[in-house]
Amino acid sequence: MGNDNHDDESSLSDKTSVLQSDTFKLRLAQAGQAPPSVVLLVGPVNSVGRQWPIEDTDRIIGRAPTAHVFVDDKSVSKFHAKLVMAGGDVSVIDLESTNKTVVNGRQIQPLIPHKLQNNDQIKVGNIIFKFLERGSIETVASAQTFDRGQTDALTGIANRGALQAKAPELYKRSELLGISLTVMIFDLDKFKSVNEKYLHPGGDFVLKELTKVVRDKLIRGNDFFARAGGEEFALLLLGSPPKQAEEIGERIRATIESHVFDFEGKIIPVTISIGIAFKNDRDTGWESVYERADKALFHSKNSGRNRCSVAG
């Protein structure tokens, strides 16, 4: 009996080491294909750890929403610096920025390329990036870590932190390009009773199934969809005219109402209430658009639920 147990433990140990080895090999394989990149080390809290691959030359770092590496910080110039690739090497060039560009503690001269080495730290204003060379295994590891921090564990879509990081960027892009921005908030009607009747496994099923239906069937790839918390979701549409955005909201509402939520052979009736708001000239930030959408959602709830309301 003792020998059998020892054999089982050895077998388990062997399997564990093989699994770890395979995971490491997978990371190595992924790293081998990873382009050079910059990772945010110090900056806006919701963006720390974010990674930007350098897959083409002339990647602009700046505060302008059109910058390839966009950072919303006043210490950063609109077009602060750029990353250039030549012959497999990456260099950074300061674009005569107000607060200068510093590499590893030393200020670089404007408009003169400075070749980067693996793990170099690049300071633009008060923001610090780390450069990772092509094929760095840290590229894969840091990307996976950041993705986990920005992803809702239950539904697999963006979480509230990711929403708070992405929304200001979309708002500024909307302003710069002169295109519309729609904030749509919806939540599940009487979700507490779903949890009480079907317990948390049933509630979790509804949240995951709703996410899958909206993500796979009802929105475009460039729409930003997040779980804002609990049973509340947020959808940000950039460039959709108001009439089209209202149609999208109504389509989502109707599709969820007609969808069959089959949990272990039990059909759970599900409806949602939606609030919609459009960015206007009086807004000073995305938060004011979100607040109006939230008030519109409250109106939908108080008007009988299972409906869309548009903020005035």
Antiparallel, parallel or unpaired: β 37-42 and 51-53: antiparallel
Contacts of 260 (CB under 8 A, 6+ apart): 267
CB atoms under 10 Å from CB of 38, counted, come to 23
Contacts of 309 (CB under 8 A, 6+ apart): 273, 274, 275, 276, 296, 297, 299, 300, 303
* Active-site residue flag, 175: no
Residue from 138, 209, 231, 246 carrying the catalytic annotation: 231
Contact 136, 31 (CB under 8 A): yes
Cα–Cα distances (Å) from 104 to 128, 185, 252, in that order, read 10, 44, 50
Burial of 60 (0-12, 13-18, 19+ CB in 10 A): middle
Contacts of 290 (CB under 8 A, 6+ apart): 167, 183, 185, 234, 277
Q: Quote the CA–CA distance of 225 and 219 in Å, as a whole number.
A: 9
Contact 308, 301 (CB under 8 A): no
Query: Which residues participate in catalysis according to the annotation?
Result: 231
